[in-house]
Structure 1
Amino acid sequence: MGSPDESNTRREVDVVVIGAGQAGLSSAYHLRRDGPARGTGFVVLDADPLPGGAWRHRPATLTMAKVHGIFDLPGSRFRTAESTDRTADPDDSADASRPVAEVVADYFAAYERRNDLPVLRPVPVDSVREDGDRLLVGAGNREWAARAVINATGTWRRPYWPAYPGAADFAGRQLHSAGYGGPAEFAGRRVVVVGGGNSAAQILSEIADVAAATTWVTRRPPVFRDSFTREDGRAAVARVEERVRAGLPPQSVVSVTGLAYTTVVKEALRKGALTRLSMFDRILPDGVLWSDGRFVPADVIVWATGFRPDLGHLAPLRLREPGGGIRMDGTRVVAQPRLHLVGYGPSASTVGANRAGRAAAREVVRMLAENMIVGAV
């Protein structure tokens, strides 16, 4: 891991990778392995001060025992302490009682060291703009002029808060699930949790033991799945990919997969915390109200309503289509072929992020090689 130079500098590189989560590290791994064979190489810019990506921000109560699974980074098996796989690295072992934030941060840090990945942090990128035949990546008073950019900023820094009538008048506390730190602060409180995903299930399973009352509300009835096949996964990804090819905002892959019967979901069901109500119509100072007159008193509203792609730094490139999204061809942005988005749309999942990182890196390496040949002619 490197440390950024604080002076006002401009550095020329072949590729800039923005973000060092699953998608960014996958991209960096394949860039390191496959090229570029010539030039000034690549750099990974990460906004966080330490490794781990979005995982490092998970609450300490989310332990390895509660996680459905951690997907391997390319070329490195992730295993739990109970694994008998002797080919796995000792740094990658994990005790079921440890917080996932710790375990994955350790795994990512070891991965960066082992693969000699040139990660600079903390470097929050402010902008990406065109500069002749390069893309200029700005972060404060530092700039990187790149032949190509792989953007892997994910969604964690952009939690989605839906607008509901009366929200500004609520006298209690409102927070997004991104700010959830554990059940202790909800002791004796009446809590409404909004959202139909795994984050909502985790929060409900934990606070059910301490809260005075919990209420779960979702826009659509939840779909519980006993299993999720490869065909189901391909169908979900295809639906999202169809939207981004059309220049529409992507749906989350997770939003179309339903809730699997994970340890957390089973625990929440056993506690009776997953009895769902339809979405309320209005927020009052002391609770939430439905159009049929139903009222639920509340001290806290937790918005487990997901995230949106963190792409504000790409605004200078004017990539948005009339439909509101960014038109994609695979990982490549149609309006700006030197830019690839990974962890966006169909690759906004750990397995998808790995594949997208490999695809983006290979296409970038191929583009650089073709440009070198043309330049030599």
Structure 2
Amino acid sequence: MRNRKKTALAALVAAAALATAGCGAQVETAAQAAVGDGLGLEQVRVGLAFDQGGRGDKSFNDAAAAGLDRAKKELQVDGVEATLDEESEQERAATLRGLAEDGRNPIIAVGFLYAAAVQEVAAEYPDTTFAIVDDDSFSASNVVSLVFAEEQGSYLAGAAAALKSRSGKVGFIGGVRNPLLQKFEAGFAAGAAKARPGVRVSADYISTPPDFSGFGAPDKAKKIAQGMLASGVDVIYTAAGGSGTGALEAVAAREGAWAVGVDSDQYQTADPGVRDAVLTSMVKRVDNAVFQEIQAFIKGDRSGGVKRFDLKTDGVGYATSNEKAIAPVRKKVDAVRERLLDGSVTAPTKP
């Protein structure tokens, strides 16, 4: 693969070293499946192409990276990561093409912005399995779409925010105004309104297509958050990738205000100086999706299609790591979760 790509190769670990309860059984099953599918002892070589920001965004990309890390440890795959040098369709296609030329299979693209590139490159490499997170806008026999019920997780985040708010005003900041991010907004606003009738929800976006810079503009997110806080909003949910750190900084600087993270459990990943301001996070289990896709490949699943991750499959949820902060509203939020699970409540996908 091209030298200018930032890569991280996993070291091969002997199966005997993984003799921990449960983990060993998973490795054995994967190995047996691999042999049964004609892979023999050849190590599966995975390629993971990051979205804007790459590993270290404490959100979307880090969740995907966690899935690859787990696959390296438990399934003994050889994993390589690729970070974009620039934001362009040509660069995305070149990144995927470089992974394919390097013999990576499967190749997992993180984010809907890879849609056109995956469609193009997958056609060039029909014997390679591709997976794309957050997009099902097209179909191909060798492409798997990994999509999520973000509206369900966001519904829970909205309920928690509304119940925790003292002012009765909560806010949503989206990275880019598009249908995917509007699922987050819709679920959040509906969950807040149901949990606390009369709550006021403010919503704003950092950028609008064709400008996708909203996922990497923490300064702009911070400014929007400061404006919301000045208007009386005291709980802000930010779904904007790496931009979320800016909003969190603004919230942490305002006494009595709370932040709601996204994708990863941001109470666990935030800097010590701001982490106590994280009430909860809408957890989107991109890590599970990446791991399970690699596991499926090892077991012989090469077919394309759509795999959806929702509350019932532990694909989305809300974090409770900040136990002291979430405790006063947790029982009520859990009750909302049960209503989503039994179908008595449906989270909307459009604002």
* Structure showing greater relative contact order (alpha-carbon pairs closer than 8 Å, 6 or more residues apart): 1
Q: Give your verdict on TM over 0.5.
A: no
TM-score normalised by length of structure 2 = 0.31
